[in-house]
Amino acid sequence: MKLTRRRLFAGLAATAALFGGGGAARAVAARYYDGPVSDHFDGVRFVDRHGSPPKPFGHVLRFWTSRYTDRWPDRVPSPHADKPPARVTGPDWRISFVGHATLLLQTASLNILIDPVWSQRASPFGFVGPKRVNDPGVAFDALPKIDHVLVSHNHYDHLDVATLSRLAARDRPRVITPLGNDTIMHAHDPVIAAQAYDWHARVELAPGIAVTLIPVRHWSARGVFDRNKALWAGFVIDTPAGRILHVGDSGYGTGHHFRDARERYGPFRLAVLPIGAYEPRWFMQDMHMNPAEAVKALADVGAELALAHHHGTFQLTFEGVDAPPTALATALAEAGIPEERFRVLKPGQIWEIPA
């Protein structure tokens, strides 16, 4: 297949957004973390004994030279726009869906931002790559002062150094992230107050509020040669109103990580689960759940409620823009689960959950 230069860059950018393959030249020799060998770190790269190895280059090439089966429109604007309060006092949760994987959690007078991306593209390139089809559901200038930021891993649709720099300049929030990702942030902007932790580390954010990093079925990369040199994680967030499980990206596999989370850290009141970027299955199934698998994950973790994310903002894979919510509704009906138990929000919509 003959490729134009722009399509070549577009394919590289889309692949990089998902699991590396573009990025700056310094990523060639990157060593983000230097620590002791463990059951999930061999001295150079992180590994998941219950996961799958990264795709070989031939599979990557086949993926990004394939034609999209359902191209998204250039714009899919949300009718909603949120202007959060400065604080939410008391134990109630106020969750604002900013778009894709970005959420704002307000509770107990803390403002916690998860995987913040306000950039126009989820890409290592400024001129090509997955571009937003809707604006952030909260304008950056409408954000309240951010106290803490959680960044799950280093793919471009989750770790946006430009946004982290803006937050650092304005609020200097504490950034909690898995091992190695702090090096990426500090290389871009030393002012970013990043702190890196291993799986199962518990970090106190405030009295009665803490976050624990846990394994999920994924991997990491910013460039061609830095695959799995930074760790990836999900988050267990303890609050006075209950415990939240947040999964940034994860394949389902056998469901091991979800059952393990329940056994170690349950019960959960809310699970935040990804439902998008899952086609074609031959390529995506090891790193991204589809909606039916997200419903299985909800059963595995045993949460009372679930919130969907990772949908409707950046086209990273082949399913249509509305396919994830539609497929989720079907999967919930087949499992006999009411739709209000597993909610899908548009950018700018909020979910207020009383204690």
pLDDT score recorded for residue 8 = 45
pLDDT (mean) for 271-287: 95
pLDDT (mean) for 45-64: 83
Domain residues of the chain, as ranges? 5-353
CA distance readout (Å), 48 to 199, 253, 300, 314: 11, 12, 19, 27
Element (H, E) at 235: strand 234-239
Number of other residues whose CB lies within 10 A of the CB of residue 330: 13
pLDDT score recorded for residue 72 = 96
pLDDT (mean) for 124-153: 96
- Indicate the DSSP class of residue 140: G
pLDDT score recorded for residue 70 = 85
Percent of the chain with pLDDT over 90: 84
pLDDT score recorded for residue 16 = 55
Return the CATH number of the domain spanning residue range 5-353.
Answer: 3.60.15.10
pTM: 0.93
pLDDT score of 21 more than 60 = no
pLDDT score of 194 more than 80 = yes
In sequence order, what are the residues at sequence separation of 6 or more whose Cβ sits closer than 8 angstroms to the Cβ of residue 93?
A: 105, 106, 107, 239, 241, 244, 270, 351, 352, 353, 355
pLDDT score recorded for residue 3 = 45
Residue-averaged pLDDT of the chain: 92
pLDDT score of 6 more than 50 = no
CA distance readout (Å), 227 to 11, 235, 254: 18, 22, 23
What strands lie across the sheet with 110-114, from one edge to the other?
193-197, 174-178, 148-150, 110-114, 102-107, 93-99, 350-353
**Alpha carbon distance 161, 288 (integer Å):** 23
pLDDT score recorded for residue 326 = 98
pLDDT score of 11 more than 60 = no
pLDDT score recorded for residue 62 = 81
